A = this chain, B = another copy of it.
């Protein structure tokens, strides 16, 4: 293939108000960067879009500094080494890193990791074997600590993280129940082995519909969604239940309406434990998590559908699709 001589990259044009728009991102061209000393020049092959990015472009500091207007959109990506100035990687190696929404990236060796294309398709390094998989694995196992026979409820269950959480719950011998936004997604998660699915757009009121799919109550709740669904889930938690707060996607674009039944009385009388997390907390254990997930993947016990957008230029659209419920499984851009 002939390499283009320009690098295209997306900058944050402005902090989105509410639902992000394509015009919030600016595609600019620049010369392909030089390969850094002790680093690699990488050509992007796949880019991951993830809900947490919404928080990073909100203009406020959360757990990390925000991506500022005029700066490159950071994101997980996989690609191939085009040039290397480090003994750790050679030309042609497949690697993954956080170099963002661009065709090429000059990256320090310490900020990329090798991806084995024989283990799984390389984009799996963005899904089950990447941040997505680690989020599901550690967020469920460390904070929910599910025991065989318990009921695990997952919101956003057709998404990349949620679908992995439900499958891990099944591997651990739990009853896995997911909430999704379409009947097709309900069918999808049942095909992954979930015991029950609830379409939150049509099956109302939540408390009654949740009770139907969780007849023994909820022992573990892995929350990606927030909002009224979470209010209802809290009311159905069992004694000493555990809630892992991974995301609140229903509130990311408009927190002004994030008002509801306070959960503290439920937390008190049922002695619940509710904990929020950012997966980097377990960064020192990612090798362990990746090894376990790779084993389950090899055994055919984990699957993940991909929703693929074609071309770097589609990246904003792929990202916006996350908040419209347009994607099933892992949302990816094939550059």
A55 nearest in chain B by CB position = B269
- Which of B230, B246, B262, B270 interacts with A63 by CB under 8 Å? B270
Alpha-carbon separation in the docked complex, A55 to B270 (Å): 12
Determine whether the beta carbon of B259 is less than 8 Å from that of A262. yes
Copies in the complex: 2
Task: Name the B residues within 8 Å of A278 (CB-CB).
Answer: 269, 271
Task: Name the B residues within 8 Å of A281 (CB-CB).
Answer: 271
Chain B interface: which of A69-77, A247-255, A309-317? A247-255
Interface residues of A in 193-230 (CB under 8 A from B): 223, 226-227, 230
Determine whether the beta carbon of B271 is less than 8 Å from that of A274. no
6 A-B pairs with least C-beta separation: A267-B276, A268-B276, A62-B269, A273-B275, A274-B274, A245-B268
Alpha-carbon separation in the docked complex, A246 to B124 (Å): 44
A273 nearest in chain B by CB position = B275
Q: Interface size bucket, A side? A: 35 or more
A51 to chain B, nearest CB (A): 11
Alpha-carbon separation in the docked complex, A259 to B261 (Å): 4
- Which of B260, B266, B269, B271 interacts with A262 by CB under 8 Å? B260
Given contacts A272-B276, A273-B274, A273-B275, contact A255 B265 (CB under 8 A): yes
Contact flags A11-55 to B (C-beta < 8 A → 1, else 0):
000000000000000000000000000000000000000000001
Given contacts A226-B262, A259-B259, A259-B261, contact A275 B267 (CB under 8 A): yes
Task: Name the B residues within 8 Å of A274 (CB-CB).
Answer: 264, 267, 273-275
Give me 8 other A-B pairs in contact (C-beta within 8 A), A259-B259, A259-B261, A268-B277 excluded.
A55-B269, A63-B239, A63-B270, A227-B262, A247-B268, A255-B265, A258-B261, A274-B275
